[in-house]
Structure 1
Amino acid sequence: MGKPTVYMWPKFSPDNKYSELLTRSVEDNGLHVEHYDKRNALKPAKGDIVHMHWPSYSYQASSFPLTIVKSLLYAALLLFFKLRGVRLFWTVHNIWPHSTGKTKWDYLMRKYILAVCNKGFVLSESVKREAVETFGVSPDKLVVTPHGHYVDAYPAGGADIRKRFGIPSDHFLFLFVGRINPYKGIERLVEAFTALKLDSAHLLIAGKVDDGYSLDFIDKANDPRIKVYPKFVDDSELVDYLRAGNVVVLPYNQITTSGSAILALSYYKPVVAPKLGSLSEYIPEGGGILYDPADPEGLRKALEQSVRLNREETEKHIAKKLAELDWKKIAGRMIHVYMANRNDIAVMEGQTVSARNIRR
């Protein structure tokens, strides 16, 4: 049996660079990767690999009756792959879909997906524990493979973001960048920031606002230090926004794994965030401030503390964490899992080695 083809579902996404960066690293390790979609729905053959990322898009529909039909077709497709000898994997980016949250149907579907998969990948130990508890799977079914970094993933456009929003270059800037919706905790952030009596500090909130979510609370705060850009931040300017900020603040009300936190660290920006989900596994001690979300004053105190961070020391801690989030190491670990229990010979990194000897 020759080397398998990996069908990444999806290989690339306009909204998330994760699968694109992972794909590049898997290919660099010697496996061929194809984008999985309707055009090659039945193409995976015996020994090939189908790696799923956000399965809710494949089984959810605009109404519940349609969701049932779509879910049954999706479940049948996965069963067909199993009978055909295709190896199935799912990276559990979130325990529950952001679009629907926790529902009984999502529980049934996600439990089924894990049951038919050869293995599930999770991005942290905390997500592994939650998945085991939620879906009742064996811990051996789940393998921790961290979310890789975003170093050099986005180009710098060269825009002067501070000048655009009238923020002096010597003033401290708290930055939130990303999609804006209720679970992001923006209201709490505005409240905590306005409680700070720092005339030389500013808060910039940038990102597309979800339909139906009002930012009226910012107007009511009536604080000229707060700047808002309620639109999607294009990839060409994302690095410019990150470079403009002193710290990135992610005051989530709930979170599993935050790509935004990893993005901030990738550009050596310390992160202020609550001790939720896997954030404590990604934000290194000395590389940001983690606060107790149950403490009403936790975020405000964390903002005050972040102003006093030593930049040089902070960057050392962040650099160490980024080394742990190297994509090549992560892809190598995944390939080891892909190839487990196979008897074929795989060519990895320019060398012919037995699959069981691929380094973790």
Structure 2
Amino acid sequence: MASLKVKPVVWVITHGFQLHYSYDFITGLLKSKCNVKAITCDSLASKLENTGIEVIPLRGNINSNRNIFIKLVSNIRYHVGVVFLVVMKQPSVWHVIGTLRHPILMGIVEGIFFKVFSKKYVFTVHNLLPHESRNTIQKTINKIIYLLPDILVVHTKKMKRDLTELFGISQKKIVVMEHGLNSAATEKNVSREILREVYGLSSSMIVFVFFGKIRPYKGLDILLDAYSSFNDKRNTKLFIAGEFENADYRQMILDKIFSAREANGCEIELFEGYISDEKMAELLAIGDALVLPYRHIDQSGVLLTALSAGIPVIATNVGSMSEYVQPEVGILAEEPSCSSLLKAMEEFIESYGTTISRDNIKALAKKYDWENVVSPLLEQYEI
């Protein structure tokens, strides 16, 4: 006689990962009648307060401006607490959805505890390798990390293939759960017309937007080179918003912006620093296209944010971009180069308003509602 599968308690560990992703994922499970509980930071615990979900805010305050000693003590307390809870709550499924800032500690040491003491250990892979560390040693560390869980969750079919081809992971333990929409982009009621007036934009001006943490792999320098190549009479403007993480790259970008403005007459506005949900919603509302000129990427939460807001996308054809950027959503540049991106941006301008509709993008994006995308996990959670 076949044994009956049981719906267990699923503990989600966020490791202080992106607030909106974590909130949307957990509430998506809740809407799907999953018995979900969470170990989170203070800010996410507050956001989940009225959901009825049992939350342990073990991660505490994750403000980056905390005293370094307080950070150290907080991190030690957190990681010891995670191991303690895993041991004490053994008949549970543990799903780690946060990225691993300290791969050996969080991926291997804690991973062994998850493997030994949980009923089932599930781990979401956001990036197969860190963006700035893709050497042989890192590949070996990540392979060990990926061998420990019972189930690996990825957001694209390409990532599933790459896990097998690059790390030798069995396809049977990999589940594709598509990335869901960003509620921060859909919950704001922002008037596009009024905002464009506030930003001093004419109705005929075509506005390109780039936002998010500014790191070399995201190719902002490629975008600036392409944008600088436009005829200076074009009625366009580029908005850039985000925090720099590398001082040398920041200076290079500032130099390129200065050159584009002074030598080529380009209209470029930079909002440097942390980008609030309100500012993000405004930029997505006033923009005509979000540009993702990435050099490499496995999957992109920024892309799903664009779909949530209905803004067309111009992206380089890297990683899994082609799975999402279909002709009705936007345009793919053949490769991450100035010439390819320029061609794609010019193609967008030539066809502007004729083939891509914000309302159609929003309608197509509904299939990425979190209640829908988490469904492949529900059977995997059963024990």
- For normalisation by structure 2, the TM-score amounts to 0.77
Percent of matched pairs sharing the same residue: 26
Q: Can you list the C-alpha shifts for 1:245-287, whole angstroms capped at 9, x where unaligned? A: 0111111111111111111111111100011101111222221
RMSD, matched Cα: 2.5
Structure 2: distance between partners of 1:76 and 1:164 = 52
- Residue 84 of structure 2 aligns to a residue whose secondary structure is coil
- Quote the offset at 1:79 in angstroms: 2.2
SS at match of 1:7: strand
Q: Which amino acid aligns with 2:27?
A: R
1:251 matched to 2:286? The reply is no
Aligned partners of 2:26 and 2:36 also within 8 Å: no
- SS of 2:275 mapped into structure 1: coil
Q: Which moved more, 1:36-45 or 1:171-180?
A: 36-45
Distance in 2 (alpha carbons) for counterparts of 1:56 and 1:93: 10
Could you tell me which residue of structure 2 aligns to residue 115 of structure 1? 147
Shift of 1:299: 0.8
- In structure 2, what is the equivalent of residue 356 of structure 1? none
1:206 matched to 2:245? The reply is: no
* 1:314 correspondence with 2:357: yes
Alignment deviations for residues 135-194 of structure 1 (CA, whole Å, 9 cap, x no partner)? 111111211110011256564375965456543343111111111121111121112112
1:41 is displaced (CA, Å) by 3.2
Equivalent in 115, 124, 128 of residue 82 of structure 1: 115
- SS of 2:357's equivalent? helix
Deviation at residue 55 of structure 1 after TM alignment: 4.3
Partner residue in 2 for 1:348: none
Residues 211, 329 of structure 1: alpha-carbon distance in 2 compared, 3 angstrom cutoff: same
The yes-or-no answer on 1:35 pairing with 2:39 is yes
Quick one: which of 4, 8, 27 aligns to 1:4? 8
Amino acid at match of 1:326: D
Q: Which deviates the most, 313-322 or 214-223?
A: 313-322
Q: How many residues align?
A: 327
Q: Do residues 196 (structure 1) and 200 (structure 2) align?
A: no
Unaligned runs of 5+ in 2: 41-57, 59-77
Q: 1:205 to 1:296 in 2, by over 3 A?
A: closer
Matching of residues 1-360 of structure 1 within 5 Å: 3-10=7-14, 13=17, 15-30=18-33, 31-35=35-39, 37=58, 38=78, 39-44=81-86, 45-59=89-103, 71=104, 75-98=108-131, 100-151=132-183, 155-156=187-188, 162-163=196-197, 165-197=199-231, 198-212=233-247, 213=249, 214=251, 215-221=254-260, 222=262, 223-293=265-335, 296-307=338-349, 308-310=351-353, 313-315=356-358, 317-339=360-382, 342=383
| Residues 165 and 227 in structure 1, CA contact (< 8 A), matched pair in contact too | no
- Inter-partner Cα distance in structure 2 for 1:164 and 1:19: 33
Q: Compare 148-157 and 222-231 and name the one that shifted more.
A: 148-157
- Give a deviation string over 1:225-251, Cα, whole Å, max 9, x none: 122112221112211110010111111
Q: Which has the higher helix share?
A: 2
TM-score w.r.t. structure 1 length? Answer: 0.82
Contact 1:156–1:238 at 8 Å: present in 2 too? Answer: no
Given that 1:175 and 1:204 are in contact with CA atoms closer than 8 Å, whether structure 2 keeps it comes out as: yes
Unaligned runs of 5+ residues in structure 1 are 60-70, 343-360
Helix, strand or coil at the partner of 2:114? helix
**One-letter amino acid matched to 1:205:** I
CA distance, structure 2, for counterparts of residue 210 and residue 72 of structure 1: 23
Structure 1 distance, partners of 2:278, 2:105, is 40
Change (3 A) 1:218 1:316: same
**Quick check: 2:94–2:118 contact (8 Å CA) kept in 1?**
no
Structure 2 Cα separation of the partners of residues 94 and 111 of structure 1 = 13
Deviations 1:1-25 (CA, angstroms, capped at 9, x unpaired):
9642222221764x45212211011
Q: Is the 8 A contact 1:242 1:264 kept in 2?
A: yes
How far the C-alpha of 1:32 sits from its partner, in A, is 2.3
Q: Structure 1: which amino acid aligns with 2:147?
A: A
